[in-house]
Amino acid sequence: MGIPALALHEGSRAASGFLLALWSLGSMVGGLRYSSARWNATLGSRYTLLLLANCAFIAPLVAANTIAVAAVCSFIAGLAIAPVFSCQQSLVGQVVRPGTEHEAFSWTLSGLIGGVAAGSALGGIAVGAIGVKAPFVIACGGACLAAISASRFRGRFGIRGLPVTA
């Protein structure tokens, strides 16, 4: 909701697709980088760090005040998306009982879709009530809360992160 609202606010409805494409490209680049890295951190610690990175990468969108700045910020905001989801799926796969992975992945995906829907609704309400920057503040807050929550439980995921190869 935030990126299209920002494009509209800056007077370019067409830029919303361009900005979302850059956000997606950032996610792809982040995912490729994440999958080619070798990790020594536990999955729980890695997940917490990726969620903190997500928060930090979204934050510049709050200051974006032109389409050009928003383009750079959109790409940066996307960088942690694929790595967060990849690490999350690895965590789910490691902590569930063998034979229950499909159900666990389905619940995780359902939660993700529900969260995106709720976040979009909240972002739309916030744009109307507060302004175009509000969805980015909400997204940053949500990512920070997720990182705090993950940090509280990361010790329960004591499995050492396995090297991931491309």
**Which residues does 86 contact at the CB level (< 8 Å), separation at least 6?**
31, 34, 35
Q: For the chain, how big is the Rg over CA atoms in Å?
A: 17
- DSSP lists the bridge partners of residue 160 as 42
> Please, is 79 exposed, middle or buried when counting C-beta atoms within 10 Å of its C-beta (0-12, 13-18, 19+)?
buried
pLDDT at residue 84 tops 70: yes
- The four Cα atoms 34, 62, 147, 1 give a dihedral, to 10 degrees, of -80
How much is the average pLDDT of 108-123? Answer: 90
C-beta of residue 36 within 8 angstroms of C-beta of residue 84:
no
pLDDT tens digits along 19-57: 999 999 999 999 999 999 988 888 888 999 999 999 999
Q: In one letter, which amino acid is 54?
A: N
Locate the domains of the chain by residue range. 2-156
Q: Token pair of 81, please?
A: 């998306």
Separation of alpha carbons 76 and 60, rounded Å: 8
Residue 91, number of CB atoms within 10 A of its CB: 23
- Model pTM? 0.83
pLDDT at residue 145 tops 50: yes
Tell me what pLDDT residue 2 has.
85
Q: In one letter, which amino acid is 144?
A: C
H-helix or E-strand spanning residue 24: helix 15-36
C-beta of residue 79 within 8 angstroms of C-beta of residue 30:
yes
